[in-house]
Structure 1
Amino acid sequence: MNDMTPVQTTLKDWETDQEVRWCPGCGDYAILKAVQRTLPQLNADPAKTVFVSGIGCSSRFPYYMESYGFHTIHGRAPAFVTGIKLANPDLDVWMVTGDGDGMSIGGNHTMHILRRNVDVQILLFNNEIYGLTKGQYSPTSREGTKSPTSPAGSVDRPAQPCAFALGSGARFVARGFDVSKNLPEVLKAAHAHKGAAFVEIFQNCIVYNKDVFNDFAAPKGAEDQQLWLADGEPMLFAKGTKGLARDVENMTLKVVDVTDGDWEAAGVMVHDTKNRALAHMLVELPFGPYPMALGVIYDDPRPAYDAVVAEDLAKAREGKTPNLAALLAKGQTWTVDGTAQDPV
C-alpha cells in the first residue's frame, strides 16, 4: 500500500458498539474475532480500512468492524470494491461474501475481480447453505443435501470456490475454517499479497447445516484430516505420519505413509505456492481418500489492476495542464446569448 503509515491498535479498537447479531454458535463469530485480532498485527489503520459486503449472513460484517464499510447489493460487492480501489488505491479494502452471494448471483462479478487482479482481500464464507433465507441449498451444497427447496436431496453437483478462483485467473488462493487457530496466519498471507487474494473459509451454520465440516474442521479431533500447506515445506498430515506424493502413472497425487519421519524416502512432495498445476490438483482432491488442503495453496503475484490503471492515468497526464473550460469548449459548441425574444 502507498502511504499506509503504521498505527498501533488492539482488538478493541476494531470492535463497534453494534450488537453482533448472528445465530448463537454461528461460525461467523469466530471469523469476526480472527479478523479483529489480525488487523492490529498488520498495523492496519481503521481510517484507511474498508470492509465491503453483499447480501447474506456474512454480509453483516461491515457493521461489526470499526472502520469504513459498505453493505451493498446481492452479488455486486466486487463492483463496489473495484470502484473504491480505483478512486483511492491507498485504501486497504476487504471484501466479505458468502457461497450464495459470491458464487451464485455474484459469480460473474467474482470472476471479473479475480481476473482483473484488483488489490483486495476476498473472504468467502462457505457454509454450503443459504442461511439468511432459511436453509435453501446453495451452489456449494453437497449432493443429497436436504433443504426446503430440495426435500428429497439436492441433485446439483456443487461448485468448488477455490477451483473457480483458479479458473478465473486468481493469483492467490487459500483456505481456512472458522475456529482454526491458523486462520489469522492465512489472513496475514492474503494481506501481504499484492493483488486479489481469495480466501475460502469453511463456516459452520449451526441452524441449517450443522457440523457439515466436522470431518476436517471440528474444534478438536479432526487434525489428522487437515493438510496445512506452507511454501517450501513437505506436504505432511496426520502428525507427520502421512503425506502427498506424485502419482506418476495417473498424473495426480497419492497418499503415502511416512516411517520414522523420513518423508523424503516416502516421496512426499514439497509445497510450491507458485506451481499452478499443483494448486489445481490440491483444491480438487476428494475429501475422504485425501485430507483437506488448507493454508496458502497458490501465491504467484502479478501487477494489480488498480496499480496499472493508476500508472496509465499518470502517463496520460504527463505534460498536460488541467483546463476544464477548454475541455467543455472542445468540439462542436453553441453559445446562447441569453437575450430572450418574444415569439412572433
Structure 2
Amino acid sequence: MIPICPDEVLERNPQFKTIFQDLTANKLNSDASTKLSSQGAKESYEVDKRLTTLREELVKTKIIRQRLVHILNELPADLREVIDLYLCSQNTGATLRKDDEAFFLEGLPLICKALNKVILEDATDLANMCSSDGVTPYTLPTHLSHRLQSLQSRRTHLYTLRTSTLKKTLRLTTLLRTQISTTIKLIEQTKHGLSSRAQKSQARHLALVSESLEGKIKIMYFEQLDRMYDDDTTGALAFYKEHLEDVKIRLKKQARKAEGELEEYEGFGEGVKRDVVRYAKVLDELESVKGEIRRLDGDE
C-alpha cells in the first residue's frame, strides 16, 4: 500500500510532489505493485511462477527430510544407516557410494510407504483443523487455495479501509489544527487585542462616571438637608429633645419607686409565710395537747 502524503507537505515541496505524483500515477499501483509494460509484466509473471515452483519444491524437500527423521524407527537398521548417510551428504554436499546409493534405491518403496503414511496423517490433522465440513486430505489443497484467495481479498479490502481511514485522519488533523489556530487568535484578541483594550478603557470610563455621580448625589443630599432643617426647625427639635430628656428622667424615677415598692411587697410576703408556718406548728402542738388530755380523761 502506498503511504498517504498530506497535500500541505506536497505543496511545500514541489519537487517531491512531482516525483510522488509520477510514482502514484505512472509507476506504482494502489497496492504498491509495479506498473510494467506487457512484456515486462509477462516476464515478471514467469519469474514469479518459477520462483513459486522452486519454493514449492524446497518446501517438499524440507518436509520429506523432516519426516525421514521421524520414520527411522520404523525402518530396518541397515536402511536407517543409509538414510543417515544420505541426510549427511545432503547437508555437507558429499556424494554417496554406489553400493549405498543402490541399497537406498532398493529400500525406496519401503521409505515411500512410511513417508506416505506419516504425511497422510499430517494432512488429516490439517483437514480436521479446518472449520469447514467435508474437508479431506485430498481436497485440502483446493480448500487452502480458496482460503488464501479469500484472505487476499480481505487484505485488499483492509488496505482500502486503511487508506480511507488515513485520509479522514489527515482531514480531521487539519480541522483540529485550524480550530486550535482560531482559538489562539480569539484568545489573543480577547485578552491582549484591540477589543480587550477598548473594553478596559470603557470600564475605567464608567467607573469615573459612577464616582462623579456619587459625588453629585451626596451634594444634593446635603442641600436637601439644609433646606429641610432651617433655624426654626432646629430650635423646635432642640426644645423637643430637652422635653424628652425630662420625661426620661421622670420615668426613671417612677421606675425606681415602683421597684422599691415591689421589694417591700416581696418582703411582706416572706413575713406572712413565716407567720403561717409558726401558726401551723402551734396548731399541731395544740392538737397534740388535746390528744393527751383526752387520753388522760380516758384513763381516769
> How does the TM-score come out when normalised to structure 1?
0.19
Q: Which has the higher contact order (CA 8 A, sep 6+)?
A: 1
- Higher strand proportion: 1
- Higher helix proportion: 2
Q: Which structure has the larger Rg over C-alpha atoms?
A: 2
